[in-house]
Amino acid sequence: MVLGAIGLALALSACQPVPDDATLAELAAARGRRIGTAVEPSHVANPDTAAFIADEFSIVTAENVMKFGPIHPERDRYDFAPADAIVDAAVANGQQVRGHALVWHRQNPTWLDEAWTRDEAIAVLEDHITTVVTRYRERVVQWDVVNEAIDDTGAMRDTFWLRTIGPDYVALAFEFARAADPDVALYYNDYLIERAGPKADRVAQLVDDLIAAGVPIDGVGYQMHVLVPELMPSANALRHEFERYATRGLRVAITEMDVAHILPSTPEKFAAQADAYDNAIMACLAVPACDTIVFWGWSDADSWIDAEFPGFGNALLFDRSGEPKIAYERIRGVLWWNLQPPAA
């Protein structure tokens, strides 16, 4: 049998060191995956940062500017310019875009009104989703339609949309998104579902209910905000979690990965961090439905964790001076050598 160029490259990679100049995007593409980062408009406005993002990654997620409050600050006014800057840069660089997030309980505008009737709230939700999804049609390839609808106990989270519309706001959001773009992939996205437990089970139940009702859901996003060494499943355990949805015919994405530890950092904590990234990439490579891996930023100097969890951090692939960490090299290695977790 004649090996094609990619087949030959894959065969050779079994014994060759990772090429020095291979980017994450190139290594992931050879495994049929897209790999990316969260970005802000300030990143794409800075030529050096923009060039780095364009080179290293094949997909980007808007970290904040597509959320309801930032993009729809007044009832009759949308602010698309910041999101446009990210999408325009990505398209110009041949990158894909994940849209994040149409419905969430945080970063909502103050004009959402608890006194609305259910029908009024549904009309606002429909207008918002239709307007935003339509604007980015054919440019955003995946949308996080509903983010974090289940709380840490496994109950439906008490949110504005639950209180005004009721639990079917989730199904309605997916239906409005599908009506606005028949081709974009629609995701339910959440944290702490990489670990078996009541939250992971309740999210699976929610997804099953959506599928049974014929709601147009295409995938599940695992945020994967991980803390080491306490909170990181093995590659095998993670693979089983991903397979929950693969066996339901859905796609799987790692959507916001970072791996924090309690500061100060030590070589041992950075080693545990590299193991955690390694486990996640291995598990994703073992499940064909897992086709997307996104980190929640790239530089330890620029992460949400510093503000929200002081005392924790240094969770990303590059240190505060911009130097690659061992986690970065481990990810390149696991993509190149395509290591798989053993079958259970």
Question: Please, what is the minimum distance in Å from the beta carbon of residue 57 to ligand G3I?
Answer: 17
Question: Please, what is the minimum distance in Å from the beta carbon of residue 175 to ligand G3I?
Answer: 22
Among 24, 25, 63, 283, binds ligand G3I (CB under 6 A): 63
Give the Cα separation of 69 and 229 in Å (integer). Answer: 35
Is 241 within 8 Å of 233 (Cβ atoms)?
Answer: yes
Complex with ligand G3I: residue 27 or 293, whichever CB lies closer: 293
Is 98 within 8 Å of 144 (Cβ atoms)?
Answer: yes
Q: How many CA atoms lie within 13 A of 311 on its CB side?
A: 1
Complex with ligand G3I: residue 304 or 312, whichever CB lies closer: 304
Where residue 249 falls (left for φ over 0; alpha for ψ -120 to 50; beta otherwise) is left
Complex with ligand G3I: residue 13 or 189, whichever CB lies closer: 189
Among 304, 309, 312, 337, binds ligand G3I (CB under 6 A): 304
The residue of the chain with the least Cβ separation from ligand G3I equals 304
Give the Cα separation of 290 and 128 in Å (integer). Answer: 29
CA triple 92-98-103, angle to 5 deg = 135
Question: Please, what is the minimum distance in Å from the beta carbon of residue 225 to ligand G3I?
Answer: 6
Please report, as residue ranges, which positions from 209 to 268 form the binding site for ligand G3I (by CB under 6 A).
223, 256
Question: Please, what is the minimum distance in Å from the beta carbon of residue 73 to ligand G3I?
Answer: 10
Q: Residue 109: helix, strand or coil by DSSP?
A: coil
Looking at this protein, which amino acid is placed at residue 318? F
Question: Please, what is the minimum distance in Å from the beta carbon of residue 13 to ligand G3I?
Answer: 34
Task: Lay out the site mask for ligand G3I across 105-124 (x = CB under 6 A, - = otherwise).
Answer: -xx-----------------
Complex with ligand G3I: residue 146 or 235, whichever CB lies closer: 146
Please report, as residue ranges, which positions from 66 to 95 form the binding site for ligand G3I (by CB under 6 A).
none
Nearest to 286 by CA among 333, 238, 329, 247: 238
Told to check if 299 binds ligand G3I by CB under 6 A, we report no
Give the Cα separation of 200 and 197 in Å (integer). Answer: 5
Q: What is the DSSP string of 9-55?
A: HHHHHTTSPPPTT--HHHHHHHTT-EEEEEE-HHHHHSHHHHHHHHH
Residues involved in catalysis:
148, 256
Give the Cα separation of 301 and 322 in Å (integer). Answer: 8
Complex with ligand G3I: residue 82 or 233, whichever CB lies closer: 82
What's the token pair of residue 335?
């993509």
Question: Please, what is the minimum distance in Å from the beta carbon of residue 104 to ligand G3I?
Answer: 7
Complex with ligand G3I: residue 122 or 252, whichever CB lies closer: 252
Complex with ligand G3I: residue 305 or 334, whichever CB lies closer: 305
Question: Please, what is the minimum distance in Å from the beta carbon of residue 27 to ligand G3I?
Answer: 25
Q: What is the DSSP string of 144-200?
A: EEEE--B-TTSSBP--HHHHHT-TTHHHHHHHHHHHH-SSSEEEEEESS-SS-SHHH
Give the Cα separation of 338 and 344 in Å (integer). Answer: 18
Is 297 within 8 Å of 63 (Cβ atoms)?
Answer: yes
Among 64, 93, 130, 338, binds ligand G3I (CB under 6 A): 64
By CB under 6 A, name the binding residues for ligand G3I: 63-64, 106-107, 147, 223, 256, 304, 308
